[in-house]
Amino acid sequence: MYDQPLVPTCTSATANNDPVAQTNRALVIVDLQNDFCEGGSLGVDGGTEVARRVSDYMAEHGDEYDLIVASRDYHVEPGGHFSDMPDFQDSWPVHCVVGTTGAAFHPDFTVERLDDVFSKGAYSAAYSAFDAVDDDGCTLEQVLRERGIEAVDLVGLATDYCVRSTALDAVRAGFTARVLTDMAAGVKRDTTAAALDEMATAGVKLVG
């Protein structure tokens, strides 16, 4: 269902003209893909468990959100983002290439509950879900604003990279942001701790 790399210009998004719900909250699920879970080319320890926890959480709490969306790395030819000799800071092993199993969402992640999917990084590095677009070419920020969202809860992979970047961008864009830390996992302990500190300092609430 979510396998098209096309990103046409956003000419008409689905706006919600109903009265704004009391919560005005979205769940943003970051990059729960095979290549970022155990066995993938950039597997994060605990990634599979995060996928399961997120699916259980959606089943139990999904109706509390006005919008549930997911982001994904969806690379075609991202230039120097890929390297045979990666430094694991600015360059990485090949991962999440469109059309490969690694780019697919983890099988334990229940995608049926998603309202939209945002793809990023086709031809360049992209860490934040706010750099991504959906199949209509609309950005995450556009869709959140059209739906009257004021607050976002963030989960997914990895805490110290794409979750961090997405959370910081959410705050910069004026949204109230929370990271549900028991449904996220980081690459390294030290970089994850630094990312959590940075997010907290920026105004992101850490829950769990």
Q: CA 204, CA 71: separation in Å to the nearest integer?
A: 19
Q: CA 64, CA 34: separation in Å to the nearest integer?
A: 27
Residue 111 structure tokens: 């995608």
8 A C-beta contact, residue 157 and residue 163: yes
Burial of 63 (0-12, 13-18, 19+ CB in 10 A): exposed
How far is C-alpha 169 from the geometric centre of its chain's CA atoms?
A: 12
Q: Annotated active-site positions, please?
A: 31, 120, 162
